[in-house]
Amino acid sequence: MLGGMYALIAMGLTLQYGVARIMNLSYGEFLVAAAFASYWLFTGWALSPLLGLTLVIPLSFGVSYALYRVLLTPLVRRARTRDALEVESILATFGMMFIVQGIMLAMFGGAYYSYSFLAIPVQLLGESLALNRLMAFGLAVVIGLALYLALTRTRIGTSIRAVAVDPAAAQLVAINVAQTSALAFALGGALVATAGVLISMFLTFSASSGVVFTMKALIIVVMGGVGNLLGCLVAGLLLGLSEALVATYVDPGLTLAVNFALFLTVLLIKPAGLFGRAQR
């Protein structure tokens, strides 16, 4: 279940970085912002997080689309190569990270927040699991499958994959690269908001905890192969399983070390990631 949530967290960054080539260092802050939105809707308006998704997802999609058009499009236009765009996007989103984090600190302070929603024990295969975790995992699986089918079975999905592989060649077959990149970035924002709402149902969070989610999302994206959704899913599951096994049978304090050890091992064996293709 932890691996499924990690995969859901990283799917949005896979689209933003793999397609639009925006290394979004403020990614985790938007996840935490969605968690706070769900917390506010649940505690202030008694609105279920599942119903809150119908408000948070469109809002996050619109905000991400506007950010790409207003803040990041000038960087895209002046960048001569995709590598230059990555460097400039790192600087831009690094500043955005502090802006979003500062707004959340001003509104909620530095305390940790949580709320109880469907924290009901359920017996599954001899183990006692919380219903909210099972529900979050089930939604993560459904969203992952829906996104995979959309990218592989629709014309828009084909366009997104074409831009991820080669934006110059995509223009030759009448694909609007700028519009497709903006759509992929906004879709990534909607996915990270979904992950934030689902995670808020069973995890504590604070205004400064976004960097942890950004770090793990980056590890999963690079380990699975930049822009590869299947690689993202597999890498997320591997990371979650390794964390759970080490925390259960060795020492919970070693989970971060295991993350980086697994990450470095994969890169030593396959520098382009599990499902990535080496560029010549």
Domain ranges (residues) in the chain:
1-110+132-269
Mean per-residue pLDDT, 114-139: 80
Give the rounded distance of the alpha carbon of 46 from its chain centre.
27
Residue 8: C-alpha distances to residues 95, 124, 135, 172, 267 (Å): 25, 22, 13, 33, 22
Residue 210: C-alpha distances to residues 30, 32, 33, 196 (Å): 8, 6, 9, 10
Is 278 a residue whose pLDDT tops 60?
no
Contact between 229 and 116 under an 8 Å Cβ cutoff? The reply is no
Is pLDDT larger for residue 80 or for residue 208?
Answer: 208
Query: SS3 for 157-226, per residue?
Result: HHHHHHHHHCHHHHHHCCCCHHHHHHHHHHHHHHHHHHHHHHHHCCCCECCCCHHHHHHHHHHHHHHHCC
The pTM (predicted TM-score) of the whole model is: 0.89
- In this prediction, residue 151 carries a pLDDT of 86
Could you give the percent of the chain with pLDDT greater than 70? 98
Domain 1-110+132-269 has CATH 1.10.3470: yes
- In this prediction, residue 276 carries a pLDDT of 65
Is residue 112 classed as helix, strand or coil in its secondary structure? Answer: coil
Triad 256, 145, 161: Cα angle to 5°? 90
Is 30 a residue whose pLDDT tops 90?
yes
Residue recorded with tokens 């927040």: 113
Q: Which two tokens stand for residue 208?
A: 């400064």
- Note the pLDDT tens digit of each residue in 170-219: 888 888 888 998 999 999 999 999 999 988 888 889 998 888 888 888 88
Q: How many CB atoms lie within 10 A of CB 251?
A: 11
Query: What single letter denotes the amino acid at residue 229?
Result: L
- Closest by alpha carbon to 196, among 62, 30, 66? 30
Q: What mean pLDDT, rounded, does the chain reach?
A: 85
Euclidean distance between CA atoms 91 and 233, whole angstroms? 28
Euclidean distance between CA atoms 204 and 43, whole angstroms? 15
Cβ burial 258-274 (10 Å sphere, 16+ → b, else e):
bbeebbeebeeeeeebb
Phi, psi of 123 (to 5 degrees): -85, 125
- Note the pLDDT tens digit of each residue in 34-50: 999 999 998 888 888 88
